[in-house]
Amino acid sequence: MKILVVGSGGREHAIGWALAKDERVTKLWFAPGNAGTDSLGENLPLKATDVAGIKSWCEKQRPELVVVGPEAPLCAGLVDELSALGIKAFGPNKSGARLEASKIFTKDLLVKAGIPTAISARFTDLAEARAYCASQPYPLVIKADGLAAGKGVIIASSLAEADEALDQIMAKKVFGTSGDSVLIEEFLQGQEASIHAVTDGTDYVLMPSSQDHKRIRDNDEGPNTGGMGAYAPAPVVTDSLLATVEEQVIRPIISVLKSEGIDYQGVLYAGLMLTPQGPKVLEFNCRFGDPETEVLLPLLQTPLLDLLLATVDRGIGKLNFELKKDSAMTVVLAAEGYPENPMMGAVIHGLVAAPTMLFHAGTTRRDDGKVVVSGGRVLAATGVGHDLYDARRQAYKIAADIRFDGKQYRLDIGKKALDLIESGK
Ligand code: AMP
Ligand code: GLY
């Protein structure tokens, strides 16, 4: 089978890695891929956001399956375009991807379906938004409605900070039209966890629970990033909590999407806050998380190809879906200056001896064959073991063996999980 993977991050390298193991996969392309994916298949000079370019390439090459990794091409309607060509593509169409493209759209669906979520108000008028903020307790959460590369959520600790956030989003338009509307939400407290469901629109399977680490520095300090590490499964998500999430979140979102006339296939990634009142939805993403994918795919017993095909062919109900009993952890190695001002170009050493579970993200192979830093998140060092301790040992061994100028990574990935395990001993 010939498959195109759209994207260039650790997520797409992990997807390619899981597919390349499969004897049925005869050819892999990546649009555009990175210095890790080029040893699994062919990197194409096509950006993930180049919907027209990918469409016309697909029209000529006719891949048998396209796996769309990031949200931008999903929100721009790549799957609709490919479906119109009769090409199977994994991921929601444009109307389904609104789950990630519009926080207000999603909040409306959550409320309609009775899914637990933060109480909120929405505004298109700056003065009205300000007046509302003046009447609320703090902290208060201000969200730009549209896509903002993970930066559109501001937790304001005072009215002055809320005013500043509204000014940036609604007046200065730092996120462009994504800030035409804002959602203002009550602040929820608790641990965060992610649940990835894969659905064909009717049936679904659940990937292991996971936790991301969004801040750049240890102890959750410093600015937000795309994610500095992850582990799965997350011990904070007990079997009974998972059952609650299925009943209160996953089944109702699938059924409300259907009743809205949205034919949703692909990933439903629920970002949850585990509050004392139970799990509440912070957000939905319409694709696999990054770096979560790097810990989820190594835990699949069922071949990834079977899961992807069952999804696009609407056959998840008949899929024999199994997970490994193992645990996985991934530690992101980031470039100097990330997230504000990542420095590009440092040569990466230590790759030759690296095991296969070192997923590339912001890497490029130069003409002289050297692999250099070309993005903020550079590599995801991943360990899989019989428990989280074992997975952590392996991930940090790989992380330490890689060398490049300015390398930064967190030393406390998984600490919350290990503390929880220790406290139960
Ligand atoms: P989102 O993109 O909506 O998931 O928001 C990004 C991050 O902001 C989340 O991972 C949380 O850490 C935080 N956040 C979002 N909404 C809330 C909320 N209502 N209360 C507390 N923290 C929140
Ligand atoms: N790791 C967070 C995300 O993929 O949205």
CATH number, domain at 123?
A: 3.30.1490.20
Which residues, other chains included, contact 208 with Cβ-Cβ below 8 Å and sequence gap of 6+? Answer: 232, 233, 234, 295, 296, 299, 323
- Ligand 1 pocket test, pick from 115, 122, 153 with the greatest ligand atom count within 8 Å of Cβ, gives 153
Shared domain for 140 and 288, answered yes or no, is no
Domain total in the chain: 3
Cα–ligand 2 centroid distance for 228 (angstroms): 10
Ligand 2 probe mutation, 75, 106, 212, 267, most atoms within 8 A of CB: 212
* Angle in degrees, CA 71, 75, 78, rounded to 5: 95
DSSP 271: E
Q: What angle, 0 to 180 degrees and rounded to 10, lies between the N-to-C axes of helices 388-401 and 415-423?
A: 150
* Same domain assignment for residues 320 and 405: yes
Gap between the terminal Cα atoms of the chain: 48
Query: Has residue 305 been placed in a domain?
Result: yes
d(CA 355, CA 372): 18
- At 249, phi and psi to the nearest 5? -125, -55
Provide the pLDDT confidence category of residue 414 given band limits of 50, 70 and 90.
Answer: very high
For the ranges 13-22, 171-180, 271-280, 346-355, the lowest mean pLDDT is seen at 346-355
- Comparing 356 with 282, which gets the higher pLDDT? 282
For the residues 142-164, what does the mean pLDDT come to? 91
Q: Answer yes or no: do 157 and 199 share one domain.
A: no
Nearest protein Cα to ligand 2, atom 4: 289
- Ligand 1 atom at shortest distance from the alpha carbon of 188: 20
Name the pTM for this structure.
0.96
Identify the band that residue 424 occupies on the pLDDT scale cut at 50, 70 and 90: confident
Give residues (CB < 6 A) around ligand 2.
Answer: 212, 227, 285, 289-290, 292
Q: Are residues 255 and 328 in the same domain?
A: yes
Q: Which of 282, 287, 416 most suits a substitution to test ligand 1, by most atoms within 8 Å of the C-beta?
A: 282
63 token code pair: 């891949």
Omega of the bond leading into 116 within 30 degrees of 0 (cis): no
Q: Tell me how far CA of residue 330 lies from CA of 57, 94, 118, 194, 320, in angstroms.
A: 33, 31, 30, 15, 27
Mean of all residue pLDDT scores within the chain: 96
Q: What is the pLDDT of residues 260-308, one digit of tens each?
A: 999 999 999 999 999 999 999 999 999 999 999 999 999 999 999 999 9
Asked whether the predicted pLDDT for residue 85 surpasses 80, the reply is yes
Same domain, yes or no, for 130 and 204?
A: no
Residue nearest to atom 1 of ligand 1 (CA): 283
What is the pLDDT at residue 353? 57
Instruction: Find the CATH number of the domain harbouring 14.
Output: 3.40.50.20
In the predicted structure, residue 355 carries a pLDDT above the cut 70: no
Instruction: Specify whether 141 is located in the same domain as 272.
Output: no
The binding-site residues of ligand 1, defined as CB within 6 angstroms of any ligand atom, are: 118, 141, 153, 155, 185, 187-188, 192, 214, 271, 282-283
What pLDDT, on the 0 to 100 scale, is given for residue 385? Answer: 97
Residue 105 maps to a domain:
no
| Residue numbers of the domain that contains 132 | 119-186
Do 287 and 202 share a structural domain? Answer: yes
137 and 240 fall within a common domain: no
**In this structure, are 82 and 131 located in the same domain?**
no
In a domain, 106, yes or no: no
Same domain, 157 and 207: no
Is 151 part of any domain? yes
